[in-house]
Amino acid sequence: MVDGYKELVQDDFAQVSESTAATVAEFTRSASGAWAFHEMVRSEGSTVTS
């Protein structure tokens, strides 16, 4: 996953290779309006890794 030329996530997704869907990142917004990026590779029933 990239933002322009900046690499945000690099993963081979091996831990979710058997899944039909996966979450690879979460973007949250603070009360001030600032965005934060959180890497997380997970599928249904898996544990969050970052």
Distances (CA, A) of 16 to 1, 6, 46: 16, 24, 8
Asked if residue 37 has pLDDT above 80, the reply is yes
CA separation for the pair 42, 16 (Å, rounded): 7
The pLDDT value recorded for residue 47 is: 55
The pLDDT value recorded for residue 5 is: 92
Asked if residue 3 has pLDDT above 60, the reply is yes
**Model confidence band, residue 34 (pLDDT cutoffs 50, 70, 90):** very high
Asked if residue 46 has pLDDT above 60, the reply is no
**Model confidence band, residue 28 (pLDDT cutoffs 50, 70, 90):** very high
Distances (CA, A) of 24 to 29, 33, 38, 42, 49: 17, 22, 9, 7, 10
* The model's pTM: 0.54
